[in-house]
Structure 1
Amino acid sequence: MSNFLQRSPLMLLGMLLFQFAVVCVAIVITLENALLAERFFSVDLWKRVVELSGGRFQQLPTGPTAVASLPGACLLAAVWTLGPPLLAAGWGRFRSAESTADHFESAAVVGAKFSVPLAVLCLAWMMSWGLDYVAINWPFAVAVALAGSFHGVIALPGPRRDELAQPKKATIWPVWGAILLSMAIWTAMNWGLWYSLRLPHGDSAMYEEHLWNFLHGKGFRSYLDQGLFLGEHIQVVHVLLIPVYSFFPSHLTLELCESLALASTAWPAYRISRRHLGRDAAKWIAWATLLYFPMHYLDIAIDLKTFRPIAFGIPAVMWGIDCLERKRWGWMAVCFAIALSAKEDYAIILAPLGGWIIVNAWWNRQSEKPVGRRREMLIGAALAVFATVYLAVVVKWAIPWFRGGETVHYARYFEEFGETPVEILTNMVRRPGTLVGKLLTPVSIALGLQLVVPVSAWRSWSRLLIAAPLFVLLCLNELQQNMPGHIRPAHHFHAPLIPVILWAACFPGGGRQSEEENGQHALAASKYCFSLALGTCLIFSLSPLGIGFWDPGSAMSWNRLYVPDERAEQFAKIPPLIPESARVASTDFVHPRFTHYDRSYDYSDYPRKVSDYLPKVPDDTDYIVLDFAHPYSAVRRPEDVRELNESPEKWEVVPIETQGLFLVLKRIPPQQAEDSGDR
Structure 2
Amino acid sequence: MSPAGGVVGRTGGRLWQPWAVAGVAGVLYVVVGVLQWRSLEVPSWDLAIFTQLAKAYGSFSAPIVPIKGDGFNLLGDHFHPILVLLGPVYALFPSGLTLLVVQALLVAVSAWPLTALAVRRLGPVPGTVLGALYVLSYGIQGAVRTQFHEVAFALPLLAFGLCALLERRWRAAALWLAPVVFVKEDLGLLVAVLGLVMWWRGARRAGPGLALWGAAWFALATAVILPALNPRGQYDYADRLTVGDVLGDPLGTLAAVLGPGEKVVTVLLLVAAAGVLGVRSPILLAALPTLAWRFLGDVPFYWTWGWHYDAVLMPLAVAAMLDALGPRPVDDAADPPPAVVQRRRTALALGAAGLGVLLTAPGLPVADLLDGETWRPSPRAEAARAVLDTVPDGATVASDIGLLARLVPTTTALWSGTPDNPAPDYYVIDQEGSTWGGSPPPDAAAHAELKHPGTDYEIVLDTGGYQVARRVDGG
TM-score range relative to shorter protein:
0.7 to 0.9
Secondary structure of the residue aligned to 2:458 is strand
Secondary structure of the residue aligned to 2:434 is coil
Aligned residue number for residue 288 of structure 1: 133
Q: Partners of 1:280 and 1:259 in 2: how far apart?
A: 24
TM-aligned CA deviation for residue 220 of structure 1:
0.8
TM-aligned CA deviation for residue 624 of structure 1:
1.2
Aligned residue number for residue 94 of structure 2: 249
TM-aligned CA deviation for residue 330 of structure 1:
4.7
Query: Is the Cα–Cα contact under 8 Å of residues 142 and 308 in structure 2 kept in the other structure?
Result: yes
Q: Which amino acid letter does the alignment assign opposite residue 258 of structure 1?
A: Q
- Alignment partner for residue 36 of structure 2, among 193, 206, 218? 193
Query: Is the Cα–Cα contact under 8 Å of residues 200 and 592 in structure 1 kept in the other structure?
Result: no
TM-aligned CA deviation for residue 258 of structure 1:
0.7
Aligned residue number for residue 232 of structure 1: 77
| Inter-CA distance 413–589: structure 2 relative to 1 (3 Å threshold) | same
1:530 lines up with 2:383 in the alignment: no
Aligned residue number for residue 26 of structure 2: 183
Q: How does 1:648-667 map to 2 (within 5 A)?
A: 650-654=456-460, 656-659=461-464, 661-667=465-471
- Alignment partner for residue 256 of structure 2, among 435, 438, 442? 438
Secondary structure of the residue aligned to 2:147 is coil
| Inter-CA distance 203–466: structure 2 relative to 1 (3 Å threshold) | same
Q: Which amino acid letter does the alignment assign opposite residue 196 of structure 2?
A: G
Secondary structure of the residue aligned to 2:45 is helix
Aligned residue number for residue 428 of structure 1: 246
| Inter-CA distance 201–584: structure 2 relative to 1 (3 Å threshold) | farther
Deviation per residue, 1:510-554 (Å, 9 max, x gap): 889886x544444443343333333332331344654x665xxxx
Aligned residue number for residue 499 of structure 1: 315
Aligned residue number for residue 603 of structure 1: 416
Deviation per residue, 1:477-522 (Å, 9 max, x gap): 222xx349xx84123333333322221011344889886x544444
Secondary structure of the residue aligned to 2:251 is helix
Q: Partners of 1:183 and 1:356 in 2: how far apart?
A: 31
Q: How does 1:334-483 map to 2 (within 5 A)?
A: 334-361=175-202, 376-404=203-231, 406-414=233-241, 417=242, 424=243, 426-441=244-259, 442-459=261-278, 460-479=280-299, 482-483=300-301
| Inter-CA distance 483–250: structure 2 relative to 1 (3 Å threshold) | closer
Aligned residue number for residue 490 of structure 1: 306
TM-aligned CA deviation for residue 168 of structure 1:
6.9
Q: How does 1:103-142 map to 2 (within 5 A)?
A: none
How many residue pairs align between the two structures? 453
Q: Partners of 1:657 and 1:566 in 2: how far apart?
A: 16
Secondary structure of the residue aligned to 1:507 is helix
Q: Partners of 2:254 and 2:185 in 1: how far apart?
A: 25
TM-score by length of 1: 0.61
Q: Which amino acid letter does the alignment assign opposite residue 19 of structure 2?
A: W
Q: Which amino acid letter does the alignment assign opposite residue 499 of structure 1?
A: P
| Inter-CA distance 282–649: structure 2 relative to 1 (3 Å threshold) | closer
Q: Partners of 2:440 and 2:266 in 1: how far apart?
A: 36
| Inter-CA distance 338–385: structure 2 relative to 1 (3 Å threshold) | closer
Q: Partners of 1:360 and 1:329 in 2: how far apart?
A: 10
Deviation per residue, 1:8-41 (Å, 9 max, x gap): xxxxxxxxxxxxxxxxxxxxxxxxxxxxxxxxxx
| Inter-CA distance 330–169: structure 2 relative to 1 (3 Å threshold) | closer
Deviation per residue, 1:244-302 (Å, 9 max, x gap): 333222222221111121133222212333454445542232122122222211111xx
| Inter-CA distance 360–596: structure 2 relative to 1 (3 Å threshold) | same
Query: Is the Cα–Cα contact under 8 Å of residues 285 and 529 in structure 1 kept in the other structure?
Result: no
Q: Which amino acid letter does the alignment assign opposite residue 439 of structure 1?
A: V
| Inter-CA distance 494–338: structure 2 relative to 1 (3 Å threshold) | same
| Inter-CA distance 221–521: structure 2 relative to 1 (3 Å threshold) | farther
Query: Is the Cα–Cα contact under 8 Å of residues 100 and 148 in structure 2 kept in the other structure?
Result: yes
1:642 lines up with 2:447 in the alignment: yes
Q: Which amino acid letter does the alignment assign opposite residue 636 of structure 1?
A: P
Deviation per residue, 1:575-602 (Å, 9 max, x gap): 2222212111111120111112241111
Q: Which amino acid letter does the alignment assign opposite residue 52 of structure 2?
A: E
Q: Partners of 1:635 and 1:341 in 2: how far apart?
A: 43
Q: Percent identity?
A: 21
TM-aligned CA deviation for residue 328 of structure 1:
4.6
Q: How does 1:517-596 map to 2 (within 5 A)?
A: 518-541=338-361, 542-543=363-364, 545-546=366-367, 559=373, 563-596=376-409
- Alignment partner for residue 204 of structure 1, among 36, 43, 47? 47
TM-aligned CA deviation for residue 207 of structure 1:
0.9
Q: Which amino acid letter does the alignment assign opposite residue 308 of structure 1?
A: H
Query: Which one has a larger percent helix, Structure 1 or Structure 2?
Result: 1
| Inter-CA distance 358–405: structure 2 relative to 1 (3 Å threshold) | same
Deviation per residue, 1:194-242 (Å, 9 max, x gap): 2222225622232121121233355313212341001101112222233
| Inter-CA distance 569–527: structure 2 relative to 1 (3 Å threshold) | farther
Q: Which amino acid letter does the alignment assign opposite residue 602 of structure 1?
A: W
Aligned residues: CA RMSD:
3.0
| Inter-CA distance 601–413: structure 2 relative to 1 (3 Å threshold) | same
Q: Partners of 2:296 and 2:471 in 1: how far apart?
A: 46
Q: Partners of 1:325 and 1:454 in 2: how far apart?
A: 18
- Mind listing any 5+ residue stretches in structure 1 that lack a counterpart? 1-166, 362-375, 418-423, 551-556, 612-616, 674-679
Deviation per residue, 1:35-54 (Å, 9 max, x gap): xxxxxxxxxxxxxxxxxxxx
TM-score by length of 2: 0.85
Aligned residue number for residue 420 of structure 1: none
Secondary structure of the residue aligned to 1:572 is helix
Aligned residue number for residue 6 of structure 2: none
Structure with bigger gyration radius:
1
| Inter-CA distance 276–430: structure 2 relative to 1 (3 Å threshold) | farther
Q: Partners of 1:271 and 1:463 in 2: how far apart?
A: 19
Q: Partners of 2:425 and 2:43 in 1: how far apart?
A: 22
Query: Is the Cα–Cα contact under 8 Å of residues 278 and 519 in structure 1 kept in the other structure?
Result: no
